[in-house]
Structure 1
Amino acid sequence: MKITILIPFYNEEEMIVKTHNTLTKELDKLKDYQFELLYINDGSSDRTLEHMRSIAQNDLRVKYISFSRNFGKESGMLAGFEHATGEAVIIMDGDLQNPPRLIKEMLDKFQEGYDIVNAKRTRRGEKRSTNLFAGLFYRVANDLMEVQLTDGVSDFRLLSRKAIEAITSLQEYNRFSKGLFSWIGFKSTVIEYDNELREAGQTKWSFKKSLNYALDGILSFSNQPLRMIFALGLVCIAIALLYVLWLFISYIISPATAVSGYFTTIFTVVLFGGVQLVSIGVLGEYIGKIFYEVKGRPHYIIEESNIEVDD
């Protein structure tokens, strides 16, 4: 049985060789499988591609695709799905935080009939702020989104050929793979492992990128923000009406002590101005996504590869 190991790399010159060596040591123990190693260079600006070429020359199992620029991990995974030839695909990160020793357990679960085998990590060693943000995201996302996500389950997982075909049939430009993996359904299971810390290099996920990714995920799988701003508008109208009613009653009861209209004007401008800006911002996010979808641009452009691919 042929299995594809898919790893997107971005500026991982310090880790790519060690990742490959550690991975192949584990794969060499699994004599019942034939492995294809599919490496994606996501427009790295360091020597990642140079190392990737060298690895491919010395290991015929390695196939690589190099993008013309950085298109993002989502595009890297999609390219891998579209060019993988294995009966199952195992997605991993290139920094060894996804331990290769779990591959055997994943394959055992695949042999049991599971189409998706998710790897769930603990958050040992991560910053408290990171854990807090992650917990908040999953709580909010599961309340708003039409799919359910599990805290600690990353992109490290096995997908059967049937699941891969379902994923590649979804050609939306704004991709949130965690949601897509859940949305397609199929029989799935979870295996747990202790969190592995990065040995070298720097993480590519800053707080800003993580926040943008979280917002993309929520907006891609939910229209609840639109309904929330509609409800917020109704609440603001109710507050404004109550305030006007209170001013009117105060004037009827005691005209001499009625306040001037200055505070009322400022209150109204600030309240409704804030609501309008928030509403326009949320609408703008959805319109922006539509804007990118209708352009129909490719998810990635291939500059170099050692396999036959179509741009």
Structure 2
Amino acid sequence: MKLSIVVPCYNEEAVIGRFDDQLRAVLDRLAVEYELCYVDDGSRDGTLPRLRALAQQHRSTTRYLSFSRNFGKEAAMLAGLRAATGDAVILMDADLQHPPGLVEKMLDLYQLGHDQVIARRSRDGDRRLRTALSRLYYRAVNTWIDVELVDGAGDFRLLSRKAVDALLALPEYNRFSKGLFSWIGFDTVTFDYRNAAREAGETKWRFGSLVNYGIDGMISFNCRPLRAAIYAGLSLATLAALYACWVIGAAVAGGVTAPGYVTLVAIIAGLGGLQMVMLGLIGEYIGRIYYETKRRPHFLVKESDGAAPAPAPAHASAPPGTAAAAPRSR
């Protein structure tokens, strides 16, 4: 069999050499043909020159792509999956938080007939607050969305060619891979591993990025928040009608009095805030529809070693009359 390793990279100059050495040491002792597909996601440091050097040093087993700018990890993973030619594909990060030594275990489980082999990290070493918030989020999101997200199960996984082809057949622009992995299904097995510390560089996941990623997960695979807005509106309308009846009854029984200013202001402010939340929610869905209708490519490749990713499926290609520019190869 042939194994492809897809590695998205963004400002990983400090660690990419160690990652390549450790991963290659594991792969060389396995009885498997392999290729390493690095995807530079518009890095601003020396990541791209390092990838050029690796591709020059290991011509037969190493390929790379470089984006014209930072398009995000989702686009980088998609580009790597399109470029991969193996019978199985492993997605992993270059910061060594995904231990290369687990590749052998993934292959063993793949040989048993599984189409997805997921390495689920433990939360050992994480702050208690972060662990609690993460568990709360996954518990909440799984009550909303149409697929199941597993806490600790991320991008570090092996996918069979059948699973890869299924992912590449999904043309949506707004991609949330955790949900897509779960949505395609197939035979899946999960094993746990101890969380590893980042060996160099800084994490790209800030608090704001995590919040935005969480929102993507909440609304990417369902429209239940919109349904909740309907129920919230009906509930508030019912409460408002009951309150109006109470005010009218009190006025008939005791006459009209001046008190009620604070209550009125509180109600107006509360309803106004709720309306803004609902409008923002609706706007988020409309914005996603807007981006989907543009049909722009997920990424642009400015440079490669000659192994450009396969084109998108026909139903996801650009409109008739347009042409895609060929990337510059080295």
Report TM bin, short chain. over 0.9
Name the SS of the counterpart of 2:98 in structure 1: coil
Q: Are the equivalent residues in 1 in contact too, given 2:9–2:41 (CA < 8 A)?
A: yes
Number of the residue aligned with 2:203: 203
In the other structure, the counterpart of 1:248 is 248
- Residue in 1 aligned with 2:42? 43
Question: Higher mean Cα deviation, 68-77 or 122-131?
Answer: 122-131
Q: Quote the residue 2:290 is aligned against.
A: 291
Give the equivalent residue in structure 2 for 1:275. Answer: 274
Distance 1:155 1:226 in 2: 29
Give the SS at the match of 2:150.
coil
CA distance in 1, matches of 2:222, 2:258: 44
Report the Cα offset of residue 147 of structure 1.
Answer: 0.2
Paired residues of 1:233 and 1:275 also in contact (CA < 8 A): no
Asked if the contact 2:40/2:48 (under 8 Å) is kept, the reply is yes
How does 1:97-246 map onto structure 2 within 5 Å? 97-246=97-246
**Aligned-residue offset at 1:264:** 5.3
Give distance in 1, aligned partners of 2:268 and 2:20. Answer: 60
* Per-residue deviation, 1:244: 1.4
Deviation at 1:132, TM superposition (A): 2.3
Shift of 1:97: 0.5
* 1:291–1:2 distance in 2 versus 1, CA, 3 Å: same
Once the two structures are TM-superposed, the CA of residue 246 in structure 1 deviates from its matched residue by: 1.6
Q: Shift in Å at residue 112 of structure 1?
A: 0.6
- Maintained 8 Å contact 2:83/2:307: no
Runs of 5+ unmatched residues, structure 1: none
Partners of 2:191 and 2:198 lie apart in 1 by: 21
TM-score relative to the length of structure 2 = 0.91
| Residue 259 of structure 1: how far off its partner (Å) | 3.4
Native 8 Å contact 2:39 2:76 kept in 1: yes
| SS of equivalent to 2:141 | helix
Q: Which amino acid aligns with 1:52?
A: L
Partners of 2:235 and 2:274 in 1: CA distance: 10
Structure 2 equivalent of residue 93 of structure 1: 93
Deviations 1:271-295 (A, max 9, x none): 3212211110100000010010000
CA RMSD of aligned residues (A): 1.3
2:7 matched residue in structure 1: 7
Unpaired runs of at least 5, structure 2: 309-325
Deviations 1:11-41 (A, max 9, x none): 01111111111111111111x1011000000
1:15-73 Cα shifts (integer Å, max 9, x gaps): 1111111111111111x101100000000000010111111111121100000000000
Deviation track 1:225-254 (CA, whole Å, cap 9, x = no partner) reads: 101111111121122112212211211221
1:57 alignment counterpart:
56
- In structure 2, C-alpha distance between the alignment counterparts of 1:194 and 1:260, rounded to whole Å: 62
SS in 2 for 1:36: strand
Partner amino acid, structure 2, of 1:51:
R
TM-score (norm 1): 0.96
Amino acid at match of 1:99: P
Aligned-pair identity (%): 47
CA contact (8 A) 1:232 1:275 kept: no
